[in-house]
């Protein structure tokens, strides 16, 4: 189905290379927004993107870009003036500084010099403007490429695997670099979305494009397939973790009323007493409160609380604590009365 306002319209378009169909004749349209095109290396993503950039002619059918028929020479020139295309590698410009690279693209697109300063400021490249591309980190080098691609403010931007250096397999000893690449991607994705009304981005895997592309297409065996895209809602990880670890607060007592304290369990109710200095030293049960916590249920159950020491144990207190020893002996004498 082709929408009325489509930036790219293909009618029976087919692309061949090396005697095989990279894209079998098909009709489709690409509207405004960010469109992701995923597929393994060698499947034909770069060739298809170069066809959209009018650098290659389709082998079958017709192709319209921004309402211009690419089969017409005059329309072809008008369409190219409104397209921004960034190939997968621009190593030919690695000896140029970021400012020189953007100025060269502005000259090629017949754009004023003020646009160079504006795009460098917009993409946060003012401090790196005098550094050669080969010496820039991957994210800054990509920003320079995006600046050169969008210096003339195009309506259609085509990016051939721009995040390959940031999404590559991390090295074993580069954990800090991997975190830096993830932070750089988090800053670059909103920037890519704001480059133009229509942005087409390619990648080797769908994981790179999932979550921020408005449409997601896959290219395999010469066929385009559209995958469903749904907004991914963040999971309440912190809230769930807090609910599992923070215990519920006990009910607060009413104002002016003392908090309720449960009555202590008696030894005759629990069947557990502690020996006391009863008559004959036979260890009569002590009527006082029992120091016993609640029993646990399950395989990790603890046994009953140990009985408190009696008079014989209190008499064995070290001699260096005379006051404490005398106090406890007196308490033991009074408890048996």
Q: What is the mean pLDDT of residues 166-176?
A: 57
What pLDDT is attached to residue 236? 41
Q: Mean pLDDT lowest for which of 173-177, 218-222, 287-291? A: 287-291
**Rounded-to-integer distance, Cα 319 and Cα 231, Å:** 75
Confidence of residue 186 (pLDDT cuts 50, 70, 90): confident
Give the CA count within 13 Å in the CB-facing half-sphere of 235.
3
Whether 157 and 200 have beta carbons less than 8 Å apart is answered as yes
Q: What is the mean pLDDT of residues 173-200?
A: 80
pLDDT in tens, 207-228: 999 999 999 999 999 999 999 8
What pLDDT is attached to residue 56? 93
Above 80 in pLDDT, residue 325? no
Q: Mean pLDDT lowest for which of 100-109, 140-149, 161-170, 206-215? A: 161-170
What pLDDT is attached to residue 159? 97
Residue 218 host element (H or E): strand 215-220
Report in angstroms the alpha-carbon separations of 266 from 259, 263, 288, 294, 330: 21, 9, 7, 14, 23
Higher pLDDT, 209 or 170: 209
Q: What is the mean pLDDT of residues 139-161?
A: 95
**Rounded-to-integer distance, Cα 140 and Cα 200, Å:** 20
pLDDT in tens, 44-89: 999 999 999 999 999 999 999 999 999 999 899 999 999 999 998 8
Residue 33 host element (H or E): strand 33-38
Structural domains present in the chain: 1-82+157-167+200-232 (3.40.50.300)
Closest CA to 177 of 166, 188, 186: 166
pLDDT in tens, 228-274: 876 544 434 333 334 434 444 455 555 555 555 555 555 444 444 44
Confidence of residue 295 (pLDDT cuts 50, 70, 90): very low
Confidence of residue 18 (pLDDT cuts 50, 70, 90): confident
Cβ neighbours, 10 Å, residue 28: 16
Confidence of residue 120 (pLDDT cuts 50, 70, 90): very high
**Rounded-to-integer distance, Cα 200 and Cα 58, Å:** 18
**Rounded-to-integer distance, Cα 211 and Cα 233, Å:** 10
Confidence of residue 3 (pLDDT cuts 50, 70, 90): low
- Mean pLDDT score of the chain: 77
Strand, coil or helix: 97: strand
Above 70 in pLDDT, residue 108? yes
What pLDDT is attached to residue 152? 95
Higher pLDDT, 333 or 104: 104
């Amino acid at each position: 189905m082709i929408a009325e306002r489509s930036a790219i319209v293909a009618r029976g378009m087919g692309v061949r290379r090396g005697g095989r169909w990279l894209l079998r004749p098909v009709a489709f349209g690409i509207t405004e927004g960010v469109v992701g095109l995923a597929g393994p290396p060698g499947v034909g993503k770069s060739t298809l993107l170069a066809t959209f950039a009018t650098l290659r002619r389709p082998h079958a059918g017709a192709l319209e870009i921004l309402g211009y028929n690419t089969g017409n020479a005059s329309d072809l020139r008008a369409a190219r003036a409104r397209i921004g295309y960034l190939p997968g590698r621009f190593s030919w410009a690695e000896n140029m500084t970021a400012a020189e690279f953007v100025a060269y693209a502005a000259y090629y697109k017949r754009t004023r010099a003020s646009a160079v300063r504006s795009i460098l400021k917009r993409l946060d490249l003012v401090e790196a403007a005098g550094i050669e591309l080969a010496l820039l980190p991957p994210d800054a080098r990509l920003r320079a490429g995006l600046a050169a691609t969008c210096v003339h403010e195009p309506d259609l931007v085509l990016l051939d695997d721009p995040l390959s250096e940031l999404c590559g397999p991390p090295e074993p000893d580069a954990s800090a670099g991997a975190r830096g690449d993830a932070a750089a991607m988090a800053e670059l994705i909103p920037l890519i979305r704001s480059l133009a009304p229509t942005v087409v981005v390619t990648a080797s895997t769908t994981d790179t494009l999932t979550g921020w592309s408005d449409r997601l297409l896959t290219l395999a065996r010469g066929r385009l397939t559209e995958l469903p895209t749904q907004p991914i809602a963040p999971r309440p990880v912190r809230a769930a973790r807090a609910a599992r670890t923070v215990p519920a607060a006990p009910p607060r007592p009413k104002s002016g009323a003392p908090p309720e304290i449960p009555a202590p369990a008696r030894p005759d109710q629990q069947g557990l007493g502690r020996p006391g200095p009863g008559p004959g030293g036979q260890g009569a049960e002590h009527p006082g409160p029992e120091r016993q916590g609640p029993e646990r249920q399950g395989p990790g159950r603890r046994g009953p609380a140990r009985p408190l020491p009696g008079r014989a144990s209190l008499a064995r207190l070290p001699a260096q604590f005379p006051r404490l020893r005398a106090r406890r002996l007196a308490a033991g004498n009074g408890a048996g009365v």
